[in-house]
Structure 1
Amino acid sequence: MRRFFAGIDGGSVSVKIVLIDENSKLLESIYRRHRGHPFTVAHEILKELSIKYPDLYVLFTGSAGKNIATSLNAPYLDELSAQALSTRRFYPEVRTIIEMGGEDSKLIILDGDSIKDFSLNSVCAAGTGSFLDQQAERLRLSIEEFSELSLKSKKPPRIAGRCSVFAKSDMIHLQQIATPVEDIVAGLCFAVARNFKGSIVRGRPIYPEVSFQGGVALNRGMVRAFKEVFGLERLIVPEQTALMGAYGAALKALEESLCWKVDIEKMEMVLSSMSFHEKGHRPLIGKDDDFAQRHLKGFPVSKVSLTHSEKRDVYLGIDIGSISTNLAVIDEQGSLITKRYLMTAGRPIEAVLQGLREIGEEIKDRVVVRGVGTTGSGRYMIADFVGADIVKNEITAQATAASFIDPEVDTIFEIGGQDSKYISLRDGVIVDFEMNKACAAGTGSFLEEQAEKLNISIKEEFARTAFCSENPCRLGERCTVFMENSLMVNLQRGARKEDLLAGLAYSIVENYINRVVAGRPIGERIFFQGGTAFNKAVVAAFEKFLGKKITVPPNHDVTGAIGMALIARDYVKNRGIEKSNFKGFDLVNRKYSLNSFECKGCENLCEINRVKIEGEKEYLFYGGRCEKYDIRRKRTNDIEDLFAFREELLWSSHNEWLKKRQEGYQPRRGRIGIPYVFFFHDYLPYWSTLLWELGFDVVVSAKTNRHITNLGVESVLAETCYPVKVAHGHVRYLMEQGIKDIFLPSFVNLCLPDD
């Protein structure tokens, strides 16, 4: 009887099947999305094929394919080998494979018949098909429209490619400034390509020829982005690009008889035994705990009323974040008079003006503003805009508010829209802190994204429904894109919506504790601050997960602004400042103009936003990576720039040698490079002089810039701190200059002058 061989590639999104005969002739190719049921879809396809091809043998590959193979006690071929086998067969000239699927990405480097090196993506969806699918859905585009539109872009903007949630914020901002849709989608494609280069390639050589495989390779915008990001003249996209894994498995089954004889009855028996019986977390509210008494009576709000008899001295705090802009007004005793919690929506100036307008209409005639402070990501620009007296970081502001509310507090959990913070206090003093990295999995936006997918109101229904759960799902720590797929899978397997919502509350807690707190000490007096603390399901999840009571302080949504108002109060009092720099509530009536330009002061080429307020001579600037356009620094130009003075001293001896070199001095030895990193910032004069005196031609790397940073990020294979990545970039920079010998000593011991 004639035999037939099929390769089944079960991925996170779809099931792909390639069927060949004994002569390797392609007979069937099938691509079908499984929507969380890969085994069911594989069974359906094989049942159809077995009627037409009765003597059918299969070999499984792919992430879902491995689970299917295990349940059937069938052989399995790893994805890397499957991709490599099919590529070698049909494209023997290919040395490098870029493979991108629904939830995973791979780099495979071939050396003849073997795999020389490979790299896989982490638990982040940035750089996968699901990331692009979600962004296309947000833009109300089919993935086909997304692909075609991206080719029309002339100047793709830079968009965050590290996280889907952060990408959403960038997209909102670009839409608000009327960026064409084709530029936005092209920017997303380039973001994915850059992320692949930085987080997966990581400095590995890309040998030509290069093949782009997987479902994402059908996106022409991604093909363009990869060619430009990697500087490729040619990028091969196989005709059966989405089926290369399945093709490799089919060939392996044929050539080595590593396969399983299709048994439909056995598959149906396994299917019938499958059910959703996963043991989840504990319910958010236990029968005997006092959570309901402590947290379900509404959040405390502490405010004082103003009289019309006399004006009261007050202090204004402004917290400008990526998602929300918060304003708080306090009196001399620190009591809250009024507050505003507003959406920033990519327009910090408009948000602040709206807050000032509303507060001014409420209390302007009954108060005298004695001090103003700003904090948050937009603190410097808004400080100049409103006339603030002091600027501080968010950590200090949050800690100040918490310590004022309760001097005994020792731990602060602060979770906002796109960032989260951990602060450890001892006697009111910050002793440790941490913030989330380029991942929004432990933030409020993460919850909001998932609630939208489940058609649940984050404000009204989420907590109420989650509290009904008796078996919260164990969703673990997952990227927001992968979590969406995980939710759909669990729903399709029979999970109840309330169990999923409670599971999401636990998930944000797990992400926060494991990724932000990361083993740091958690005290006994814990404050939960930020807008996410409104979600009582998350409060309950924290208590159950930690086994400790959590306090949600009054006005927890604006504690950053309250803390900044307290700091402003103490600042003006301690310095005896009689009149605040505050420009007044009437600032809202003054017109302003906003435009932008590209700074060419260094290789970073920052886009600088320039604000001109009616009646003021000076411009306000924001958006740069340095303080070149910081208007506050210009006001203090009578103070010597000690950093510049130190820099001049560090380079003086080296520059003298360079001058001798230009005047004809010829070093007798070859060139040697010094990367301008770490201790060379202190000991450059010593090492440079030593090497020049020894007869070397000394080359020092340039000051850190975007190019050097990118070189470092793309070079480091392990996850290291930022300075180490930059150091690798400096070494790569010197190598680009043709420097073959690089001087990078390690200090074992260092004697000081007094030793």
Structure 2
Amino acid sequence: MFSPGRSRRPGNRGLHGAPAGRSSRRGLVMSSDLHAALDLGSTAIKAVALRGGVVAAQVSRPIRGRLQPCLAGVLEELSRALPEARCMLVAVTGNRAGACAEFLGVTHVNPIVATCRGVGHLAPEAGAALELGGEHSTFLRFGPPTETGNRALEDFAVNGACSAGTGAFLEQEAHRFGLSIEEFARRAATSQHSVSIAGRCAVFAKTDLVHKHQNGIPLDDLAYALCLAIAQSLAREVIGAQTPPRPLALVGGVAANGGVRRAVIETLGLDQGELVVPNEHALVGAIGAIIAARDLPTRSELPLAEALARVRTSAPPASPRVVLSPLAPDGPPPAPHVGKPEPSARQPMSGGTLGIDIGSTSTNLAWLAPEGTVRYTHSVPTRGDPLAAAAAVLRALEERHGVVSPAAVGVTGSGRRFVAELIGADFAVNEITAHAAGCARYLPDADTVFDIGGQDAKYIRLEHGAVIGFEMNKVCSAGTGSFLEEMATVLGLDIVGEFDHEALRSRAPIELGERCTVFMASEIARRLQEGCAREDLAAGLAYAVVRNYLGRVVGRHQPGRRIVFQGGVAANGAVVAALRMVLGHDVTVHPFNHAAGAIGVGLLAAEQVCGPSRFQGLRERDLSRIRTRSFSCPQCSNRCTVHVTRGPSRRRFFAGGLCDRYDGRGEVDRGNGGRSAERLDLFAEREAAATRWVAEASPGDEGAVGIPRALLFLEQLPFWTTFLNHLGVPYVLSPPTTRPTLERGMVLARHDVCLPLTVAYGHVDALVTAGLRRILLPSVASLEHGTVAER
């Protein structure tokens, strides 16, 4: 989370004595010599050379887990861009850049100072600046110009250890949807509808995105929803309750994202022209570092060619670290047994059962013969489009076996209801039941199932093949397949093949602890900047996945002795080795670890379905006939946007909304449920009961007391209104909760608090705005419900 309470430093006027920036470029006094600086970010290294205050050359490269080669490549490319000139490296800036500056023997410029000076040079008219980088966000507020024409830094705030809402987070989500960050930004900038997602935590937002896209919400709307959630989180956690001075400069690499720019304008209520994005927005730190270094009375500098030679011939000293046991002390472990479907000739298949597992990151299909034998399996990436993934696995099945006529079709996974409705499946069941059935089929003596998929992790306890207990990861997806793949990307490794190879050859795995996805990305970036070997970090990640799973999913449960490991992550040899090392005994990998859920739901469909199948299939050419429209639900003041998807069979599927009136419902599901809900609105009944004895006064009445419609005050409203009525004290209730109530509370709640308490802030603010000077906020120490006392 953003933690301004820990990182905000008010009143840092002229930090380290450095002014915020020049009033104009013309006012910058520099020699005609070339001066260069490095900006070591968490995800990329940028370099710039200035001549007379004008950019003469610039370079930017992603680190991708190899800090020293990246640094050498940046210096070499900058040197090639200036073949005839003598260029001096005068400064290094960026988070944790001090060690590099010391190694090169040049001036280290604080990144806050560098951003100040860079913004002052590139956008001297700005009253404030918001910098969005790979893993860090910074807000700077400038004071009025001083006598020298410079504007002092009046206040600043930075995000905490969590990098939610930064460039790395956006790139991860774009990659998961199979899009470049440029295409993701373009879609966000052109979205036509608003969708609400969780933006306070990157991992929660990712889970929310997966759920909504699995249920048919268009990608364009989700892309902008993510940008909007990020902007709202920045406004709440970094900028704070005060209105930022206009104009606002948006700098850093993320400033190139049109969706983020649109969201910042909307969230902060900026008018046309009040958001300034300089052309060199990504270079602001490096430019500012040169300017700040040149103004110092003494500085250390180094010829660019000598800096390149120093980086090529030696490495920065490594910092001390905690190491773990090697994953493969006796050499690479034997590969697990991989099941293969029984071969069959290419011929139409009928009478068997089809199982489809619509996962968040992959979609798996299994074709079972009538006796339950696996005849065919296939897997494709879901990439946020469950219908396209379902069509792809069905097309692969037809290409292999021709026309299929299953006796029953079962669907499981996070996108099961959406896909089942549109392809005409006969049976849909939760993942726990499906994966347990898939395990029992092949390993009937198993008493424990460890299942780690792309977004979900499950622990299942079995007895004679029946489920007697289970746990799942909560909203957080830390320690799952997507977590591992994203961290492998940070290391510059392909999760298939390369990650295993690197991790298993490590002799000194690095302890990384149990962390969420975003914290882990920051930790890996820090370790790479300290010079840690990539293979040691990969092995440490394998251990981290296992400890995350055992600590957060298995928890206090005691696994049995016959453990079966399944799910996509079970194919990762490094994670299997780490699991065996931590548990101290063997773990069996399911022969069809990817398709265990699809096999299980296929077996269950064969048992449960009677009569002819209603399966209609879904061809990829049918995807163009699928239509999604949106409407605003009028049932309450939230006015939720509901998306309706109509498939080739004319079946409709509803998704969206804060309640379950429509969300996740198909044509048949909705039927009578919708009409009965209209006859009896339980929320309206509750509101009528709570306000039955309310006799409100006017906010201007003398001595009037404000009562917020929030927390226990709302639950106990009949008590407090009766109490005040008998005392003859006039009172006023805050208006019912609306979206603006929540948004105002998010701005005012300066620390990480739960949603009900955030809403309470908004209600109190509404009462204060209405003119109330007395607010009733009783402290309830204990409360009795029936015979049970609660604290």
Which position in structure 2 is the counterpart of 1:727? Answer: 757
Are 2:42 and 1:10 aligned? no
Counterpart of 1:84 (choices 111, 116, 123) is: 116
Partner residue, 2:10: none
Q: Deviations over 1:353-407 (max 9, x none)?
A: 77679889979999865xx764322233445456777754334543565567667
Alignment match, 2:314: 273
Unaligned runs of 5+ in 2: 1-29, 145-151, 345-349
Aligned with 2:267 (options 193, 212, 229): 229
Give how far 1:98 is off: 0.2
Tell me, what secondary structure is at the counterpart of 1:99?
Answer: strand
| TM-score normalised by length of structure 1 | 0.71
Are positions 1:116 and 2:155 aligned together? yes
Deviation string for 1:306-342 (max 9, x for gaps)? xxxxx99x87754322333445577999876776645
Give the superposition deviation at 1:580.
4.1
Q: Is the counterpart of residue 686 in structure 1 residue 719 in structure 2?
A: yes
Kept after mapping to 1: 8 A contact 2:407/2:612? no
Task: Determine the structure 2 residue equivalent to 1:287.
Answer: 330
Partner of 1:321: 359
CA drift of 1:99 comes to 0.9
Structure 1 pair 651–277 and aligned structure 2 pair: CA distance change class (3 A): closer
Query: In structure 1, which of residues 50, 54, 62 is the aligned counterpart of residue 94 of structure 2?
Result: 62
**Aligned partners of 2:713, 2:196: CA distance in 1, in Å?**
34
Q: What is the SS of the residue equivalent to 2:276?
A: coil
Distance 2:505 2:680 in 1: 61
Amino acid at match of 1:31: Q
Q: In the alignment, which residue of structure 1 is the partner of 2:15? A: none
Rounded Cα–Cα distance in structure 2 between residues aligned with 1:390 and 1:133: 34
Q: Secondary structure at 1:260's aligned position in 2?
A: coil
How large is the Cα RMSD of the aligned pairs? 6.1
Indicate the SS of the match to 1:71.
helix
SS in 2 for 1:555: coil
Counterpart of 1:414, as a letter, is D
1:699 aligned residue (733, 741, 748): 733
Is residue 2:297 matched to residue 1:260?
no
Alignment identity in percent? 21
Worse overlay, 183-192 or 211-220: 183-192
Tell me if structure 2 keeps the 8 A contact 1:58–1:261. Answer: yes
Contact 1:403 1:409 (8 Å CA) reproduced? yes
Q: CA deviation at 1:248?
A: 4.5
Tell me the secondary structure at the aligned position of residue 575 of structure 2: helix
Contact conserved, 2:460 with 2:469, CA < 8 A, in 1? yes
AA in 2 matched with 1:609: V
Rounded to whole Å, the distance in 1 between the matches of 2:606 and 2:564 is 23
**Alpha carbons 2:91, 2:301 under 8 Å: kept:** no
Q: What is the alpha-carbon distance in structure 2 between the residues aligned to residue 548 and residue 415 of structure 1?
A: 19
Q: Counterpart of 2:285 in structure 1: which amino acid?
A: G
Equivalent position of 1:597 in the other structure: 629
Equivalent residue pairs, number: 708
Q: Offset at 1:118?
A: 0.4
Structure 2 CA distance, aligned partners of 1:104 and 1:52? Answer: 34
- CA drift of 1:64 comes to 5.8
Instruction: Give, in whole Å, the separation in 1 of the partners of 2:611 and 2:723.
Output: 52
2:107 and 2:293 in contact (8 A); partners too: no
Is 1:514 matched with 2:553?
no
1:308 matched to which residue of 2? none
Deviates more, 1:515-524 or 1:359-368: 359-368
Q: State how far apart, in whole Å, the 2-side matches of 1:516 and 1:213 are.
A: 41
Distance 1:208 1:339 in 2: 59
Shift of 1:518: 3.8
Cα offsets for 1:483-529 (capped at 9, x unmatched): 79989x989x997xxx65x8546525524633884483473544322
**Is the alpha carbon distance of 1:726 and 1:382 closer, same or farther for their aligned partners in structure 2, counting shifts above 3 Å?**
farther
Which aligned pairs between 1:502-541 and structure 2 lie closer than 5 A?
A: 504=538, 506-507=540-541, 509-511=543-545, 513-514=547-548, 517-518=551-552, 520-521=555-556, 523=559, 525=561, 526-541=563-578
- The answer for the alignment partner of 2:590 in structure 1 is 553
Q: Where do 5+ consecutive residues of structure 1 fail to align?
A: 306-310, 573-578
Code of the residue aligned with 1:286 in structure 2: it is P
CA–CA distance in 2 between the matches of 1:401 and 1:642? 41
Structure 1 504/226 Cα, relative in aligned 2: closer, same or farther at 3 Å? same
Superposed displacement of residue 666, structure 1? 9.9
Q: CA deviation at 1:744?
A: 5.0
Query: Whole-Å Cα distance in 2 between the matches of residues 384 and 124 of structure 1?
Result: 38
Q: Please say if 1:31 is aligned against 2:35.
A: no
Distance 1:228 1:706 in 2: 15
> 2: CA distance between counterparts of 1:411 and 1:610?
39
**Which of 669, 680, 683 is 1:647 aligned to?**
683
Q: Is the 8 A contact 1:712 1:726 kept in 2?
A: no
Conservation of the 8 A alpha-carbon contact between 1:7 and 1:58: yes
Structure 1 partner of 2:456: 420
1:19-418 matched pairs, under 5 angstroms: 26=53, 31-33=58-60, 36-37=67-68, 40=72, 41=74, 58-63=90-95, 65-72=97-104, 76-84=108-116, 87=119, 94-110=126-142, 113-120=152-159, 122=161, 124=163, 126-128=165-167, 131=170, 153=190, 155=192, 162=202, 193=231, 196-197=234-235, 200-201=238-239, 205-217=243-255, 222-233=260-271, 234-237=274-277, 241-246=281-286, 248-250=288-290, 252-253=292-293, 257=297, 259-260=299-300, 262=302, 272-274=313-315, 284-287=327-330, 291-292=333-334, 295-296=335-336, 298-300=337-339, 318-327=356-365, 341=379, 343-344=381-382, 346-349=384-387, 352=390, 369=408, 374-385=411-422, 392-399=429-436, 401-402=438-439, 412-417=449-454
Superposed CA offset, 1:132-167 (max 9, x none)? 699599999896x998x6898474886988479969
Contact 1:193 / 1:222 at 8 angstroms: preserved in 2? yes
CA 1:254–1:591: 2 relative to 1, 3 Å:
closer
Match of 1:672 in 2: 706
Provide the secondary structure at the position in 2 that maps to 1:527: strand
Alpha-carbon spacing, 1:516–1:81, altered in 2? closer, same or farther (3 Å): farther
TM-score by length of structure 2 reads 0.68
For 1:703-751, what per-residue CA distance to the aligned partner results, in whole angstroms no more than 9, with x for missing partners? 5x7666655666655555xxx1353035325525735565554532123
Q: Cα deviations across residues 670-689 of structure 1 (Å, max 9, x unaligned)?
A: 36242444x46754443454
Question: Which whole-Å CA distance do the structure 2 matches of 1:565 and 1:304 have between them?
Answer: 19
Q: Secondary structure at the match of 2:265?
A: helix
Deviation per residue, 1:177-222 (Å, 9 max, x gap): 9989xx9997886676456446654766534442222344466665
Note closer, same or farther for the CA distance 1:76–1:423 as it changes in structure 2 (3 Å cut): same
Asked if 1:609 corresponds to 2:644, the answer is: yes
The answer as to 2:662 corresponding to 1:626 is: no
Q: Is the Cα–Cα contact under 8 Å of residues 488 and 499 in structure 2 kept in the other structure?
A: no
The DSSP-based 3-state class of the residue aligned with 2:659 is: coil
3-state SS of the aligned residue for 1:226?
helix
Q: CA deviation at 1:443?
A: 1.6
8 Å contact kept, 1:159–1:187: yes
State whether structure 2 residue 468 is matched by structure 1 residue 429.
Answer: yes
Distance 2:289 2:543 in 1: 40
SS of residue paired to 2:459: strand
Cα distance between partner residues in 1 of 2:289 and 2:586: 53
Distance 1:7 1:707, change over 3 A: farther
Shift of the 516–547 alpha-carbon distance from structure 1 to 2, 3 Å rule, reads closer
Q: 1:80 to 1:416 in 2, by over 3 A?
A: same
